Amino acid sequence: DDILDVVGDTEKLGKPAGSDIENNKSTYVSLLGLEEAKKLVQTLSEEAIDSLKIFGEQRAFLKEFTLRLAKRDH
C-alpha cells in the first residue's frame, strides 16, 4: 500500500495517489526509499512463500495469494 501510494493510479486505488506524503505519514517508502521498499516486499514475499513449504501441495493458494499481493496495482 505504501508503494502504491507513490506509483499507483488514483482511479485504481480508490484514493488520491500521494495522500500519504500529503498527510505526512511515515511509510516504508518515506523511511527506506521506493527501491528499498520494493526490495523489502520481494524479500518478505520470498520468505513467506518459503515458510509455506511445510504445507506441500496445499500451499498453492497461499503462494498465489502472496504473489498477487506483491504485484498488485490497486
Over residues 18-56, the pLDDT tens digits come to 999 999 999 999 999 999 999 999 999 999 999 999 999
Residue 14 CB partners (closer than 8 Å, separation 6+): 74
Q: Can you give the pLDDT at residue 48?
A: 98
- Say how far apart CA 6 and CA 19 lie, in whole Å: 9
| Total domain count, the chain | 1
Q: What is the pTM of this model?
A: 0.85
Residue 37 CB partners (closer than 8 Å, separation 6+): 2, 3, 27, 28, 29
Q: Can you give the pLDDT at residue 65?
A: 97
The residue segments making up the domain with residue 11 are 2-71
